[in-house]
C-alpha cells in the first residue's frame, strides 16, 4: 500500500510545477507592465519639465526684448506712429493679437518649439507738444499687454506661459528722430 501511495504522488508534481510557473509568469507580467507604465509616465514628466524650463528661458529672452529691445521698441513706435497719424490723442486703442511661431536652435534644443505666440495690448497716447506730422513730444501708455506662447517638446508635451505688462513713457521727436525718456516697463503678472 505504501508503494501505491508513492506512485500516486509522482503524477501530481507536474500540475503543481505548472501552476507555480503560471503564477510566477502572471506576477512577472504584472511587474513588467507596471514598470513600463512608470517609465512612460516618468519620460512624459521629464519632457514636460523640459518644455517648462525652455518656456521660462524663452520668456526671459522675450522680457529683455520688450524692456530693452526690438519687441518693446516696435510696440512703442507703432503707438507713436498711430498718434502722429491720428492727430492729438489716441485713447484706449486695442491692438492685436499679433500671432507668430518660433523655432529653437542650439545644442540640446532639438524637438523644442514655441507655438501660438500672441501679443495684444491697449494703448493711450497724448501729444504734449505739436501734433500730427509736426509732433515734437508725447506721452505713451500701454496697458494690459499680454504676451503668451506655448513651448512644445516633440509636438506633444507643452507648457503655456502668459505674461502681462504695462508701460509708460515720454517720446521726443526732433527732425524725425525719436528718443524715449522717463520710461518704465512693468511686469504685472506671469503664469
The model's pLDDT over 44-66, given as tens digits with 9 standing for 90+, comes to: 777 777 777 878 888 888 888 89
Tell me, yes or no, whether 19 lies in a domain.
no
Residue 24 belongs to some domain of the structure: no
Angle at 48 between CA 43 and CA 51, to 5 degrees: 130
Longest distance between any two alpha carbons in the chain, whole Å:
124
Please write the tens of the pLDDT for every residue from 2-23: 555 555 556 677 778 888 888 9
Q: Is residue 23 part of a domain?
A: no
CA angle centred on 79, ends 74 and 83, rounded to 5°: 140
**Number of domains composing the chain:** 1
* 44 domain-assigned: yes
* Parent domain of 69: 32-190
Pairing of strands 112-129, 89-103: antiparallel
- Tell me whether residue 8 is in a domain: no
Residue ranges with strand state E in the chain? 89-103, 112-129, 137-153, 157-174, 177-190
Q: What is the pLDDT of residue 181?
A: 86
CA separation for the pair 100, 98 (Å, rounded): 7
pLDDT in tens, 103-142: 666 666 666 777 788 899 999 898 998 888 888 999 999 9
Residue 171 has pLDDT above 90, yes or no: yes
Residue at 7 is within a domain: no
Does some domain include residue 124? yes
Instruction: Mark out the alpha helices in 69-135 (DSSP H runs).
Output: 70-86
Say yes or no to pLDDT of 70 above 60: yes
Q: Is the pTM of this model over 0.85?
A: no
18 Cβ contact list (under 8 Å, min separation 6): none
Confidence class for position 36, pLDDT limits 50, 70, 90: confident
What three-state secondary structure class fits 36?
helix
In degrees, rounded to 5, the angle at the alpha carbon of residue 140 between the alpha carbons of residues 64 and 117 is 40
4 assigned to some structural domain: no
End-to-end CA distance of the chain: 84
Measure the CA–CA gap between 125 and 122, rounded to whole angstroms. 10
Amino acid at each position: 500500500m505504501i508503494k501505491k501511495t508513492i506512485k500516486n504522488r509522482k503524477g501530481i508534481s507536474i500540475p503543481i510545477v505548472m501552476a507555480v510557473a503560471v503564477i510566477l509568469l502572471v506576477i512577472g507580467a504584472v511587474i513588467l507592465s507596471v514598470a513600463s507604465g512608470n517609465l512612460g509616465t516618468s519620460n512624459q514628466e521629464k519632457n514636460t519639465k523640459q518644455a517648462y524650463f525652455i518656456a521660462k528661458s524663452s520668456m526671459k529672452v522675450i522680457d529683455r526684448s520688450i524692456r530693452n529691445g526690438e519687441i518693446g521698441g516696435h510696440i512703442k513706435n507703432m503707438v507713436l506712429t498711430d498718434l502722429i497719424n491720428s492727430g492729438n490723442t489716441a485713447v484706449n486703442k486695442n491692438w492685436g493679437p499679433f500671432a507668430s511661431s518660433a523655432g529653437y536652435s542650439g545644442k540640446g534644443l532639438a524637438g523644442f518649439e514655441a507655438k501660438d505666440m500672441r501679443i495684444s495690448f491697449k494703448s493711450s497716447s497724448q501729444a504734449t507738444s505739436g501734433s500730427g506730422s509736426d509732433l515734437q513730444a508725447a506721452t505713451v501708455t500701454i496697458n494690459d499687454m499680454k504676451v503668451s506662447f506655448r513651448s512644445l517638446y516633440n509636438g506633444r508635451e507643452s507648457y503655456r506661459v502668459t505674461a502681462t505688462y504695462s508701460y509708460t513713457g515720454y517720446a521726443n521727436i526732433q527732425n524725425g528722430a525719436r528718443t524715449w525718456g522717463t520710461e518704465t516697463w512693468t511686469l504685472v503678472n506671469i503664469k
